[in-house]
Amino acid sequence: MRTIIILILTLCMATATFAQTATLALKISQKERATVEDAVILFVQVTKGITQVKTEQLIEQGLLPKGVQADTPLTKGILAYMIAKQTGITHSLMFNIFKSKRYAVSACIAAGYLPPNSGEYDPVSGVELLEVLGRLGGE
Amino acid sequence: MKFFNTLLITVVVFAFAASPLFAAITVVSVKGEALYSDGGAFKPLQKGQQLKEGTRIQTGAKSQAVLDIDGHIVTIKQLTLIKVYKNIAKKDESTNSIGLKYGSINAKVKKLPQVKTSFLITTPVATSSVRGTEQNVSFGPGFGMQVTVPEGELLVQSNGENKKVGGNLEYNKGQDDPRSGDLTQGMQNNFIGQMAPGNLTPEEQQMLNQYGDQLVDSTQTPADVLDKAGGAATVNVNLTWPID
């Protein structure tokens, strides 16, 4: 009986969290400026299928640049750093050595995730975030 | 009674057979999560559901929805928002128009005999017109509109500029660009990446795999490279045909 209840609760929770992905995408698409939290939540959904993650955990693991908070406005540098660190792309020799946001942007441009004219401090809108992550997890 | 039932079934069958086309948008499958809105709030999209003209569809992360629009198959990839603007089907005409706000879709458009087919995919920068072929279209503020055509060819129109896309050609037009980019750009990049891999030593191959993109700046065009070249140089080229 206990197992059945746990199973039902787990299924309900899975359905509830899964239903958030499209709603979240709609919500983010309306933002003129995405935040680090938006990027982190959507990124783990796209790459790992995980729906619950805390920004602080990723900062502790060194997967986000130091000094950023969940509500920090997202820049292409921060987004590229997260992508380059998490996916382990080897498209930039300089990023492999220095691990900086600037070279992460170069690595992501070379990998085709960011457009060629991207800069480290460029702001990222909600739709731009969806575009980049759509390419990242695209089939 | 049996005769009446047979007659009724025959009448219904003939009624549908007489008009081979009727506007219909059916959800073939939903993987992950997708939402739709026919004017009101967004609701979960279900397999087998019938949709109306004017419906908007949003897919989530790691999700995909497949629609059957009058026999044409449209696959909506993850994190994409589309709107079905037009869905008209008559006996000798099939007209469909899809607006792609952001994300990417794949459309397989059937060429029906004796039916004038028009299937348009519109983004904020251009419209692609496809008949009897397959196309991948993506749009976003960073990369603009990108169109590839795995099978057949199509016409992309923007600001009075018409480009025929097919084969290995790729249409690219940024949001603020007055004109589309070079259609062969994608092909050139592929050729650079695949240049003579058979003639490389294992060390060179390893170097290329690891730092290949450092050797060729992806923001450079062939014209940029030529502009910087000065003086004469001897280049040995070993062409192998056909390529394995």
Nearest one of B149, B61, B211 to A132, comparing CA atoms: B61
Tens-place pLDDT, residues B5-36: 666 565 544 444 444 455 689 999 999 999 99
Residue B81 dihedral angles phi and psi, to the nearest 5°:
-125, 120
Q: In angstroms, what separates the C-alpha of B104 from chain A's closest C-alpha?
A: 8
Q: Which residues of A touch B64 (CB under 8 A)?
A: 139
In this prediction, residue B19 carries a pLDDT of 41
Q: Between A128 and B198, whose confidence is greater?
A: A128
Residues 6+ apart with CB under 8 A from B197: B205, B208
Q: How many helices (H) and strands (E) in chain B?
A: 4, 16
Cβ–Cβ below 8 Å for B214 and A42: no
Confidence tier at A7 by pLDDT (50, 70, 90): very low
Q: In angstroms, what separates the C-alpha of B150 from chain A's closest C-alpha?
A: 15
What average pLDDT does range B89-103 have in this prediction? 88
Confidence tier at B240 by pLDDT (50, 70, 90): low
DSSP A35: B
Q: Between B28 and B159, whose confidence is greater?
A: B28
In this prediction, residue B9 carries a pLDDT of 60
Q: Between B108 and B218, whose confidence is greater?
A: B108
Q: Which residues of B touch A32 (CB under 8 A)?
A: none
In this prediction, residue B212 carries a pLDDT of 58
In the block, tokens 């990446």 appear at B193
User: Which of B32, B211, B214 lies nearest to residue A21, judging by beta carbons?
Assistant: B32
Nearest CA in chain B to A49: B62
Interface list for B 182-221 with A (CB within 8 A): 210-211, 213-214, 218-219
**What interface predicted TM-score (ipTM) does this complex get?**
0.81
Average pLDDT score, chain A: 80
Q: In angstroms, what separates the C-alpha of B20 from chain A's closest C-alpha?
A: 35
CA distance B135 to B180: 17
Q: Does A91 have pLDDT greater than 70?
A: no
**B60 inside 8 A of chain A by CB:** yes
CB B116 within 8 A of CB B92: yes
Residues 6+ apart with CB under 8 A from B6: none
CA distance B107 to B137: 8
CA-angle at A104, arms to A100 and A108, nearest 5°:
180
In this prediction, residue B20 carries a pLDDT of 41
In this prediction, residue B194 carries a pLDDT of 44
Q: Which residues of A touch B141 (CB under 8 A)?
A: 125, 127-128, 131
Q: Does A3 have pLDDT greater than 70?
A: no
In this prediction, residue A15 carries a pLDDT of 43
**Pairing assessment for the beta strands B153-158 and B127-130 based on DSSP bridges:** antiparallel
Residue contacts between A and B (CB atoms, under 8 Å): 108
Q: Is B239 exposed, middle or buried (0-12, 13-18, 19+ CB in 10 A)?
A: exposed
Tens-place pLDDT, residues B108-148: 988 777 788 888 899 888 888 876 688 889 999 998 888 88
Q: Between B126 and B50, whose confidence is greater?
A: B50
Q: In angstroms, what separates the C-alpha of B213 from chain A's closest C-alpha?
A: 6
In the block, tokens 């382990």 appear at A88
Average pLDDT score, chain B: 76
**B141 inside 8 A of chain A by CB:** yes
Confidence tier at B227 by pLDDT (50, 70, 90): low
Confidence tier at A66 by pLDDT (50, 70, 90): confident
Confidence tier at B215 by pLDDT (50, 70, 90): low
- Residue B97 has which token pair? 């128009």
Q: Does B75 have pLDDT greater than 90?
A: yes
Q: Which residues of B touch A118 (CB under 8 A)?
A: 142
CB B52 within 8 A of CB B25: yes
Q: Which residues of B touch A111 (CB under 8 A)?
A: 213
**B61 inside 8 A of chain A by CB:** yes
Nearest one of A12, A49, A42, A36 to A24, comparing CA atoms: A42
**Pairing assessment for the beta strands B93-108 and B81-89 based on DSSP bridges:** antiparallel
**B56 inside 8 A of chain A by CB:** no
Confidence tier at B2 by pLDDT (50, 70, 90): low
In this prediction, residue A16 carries a pLDDT of 44
Residues 6+ apart with CB under 8 A from A76: A105, A114, A118, A119, A120, A121, A122, A124
Q: In angstroms, what separates the C-alpha of A62 from chain B's closest C-alpha?
A: 23
Strand partners, B83: B56, B99
**B40 inside 8 A of chain A by CB:** no
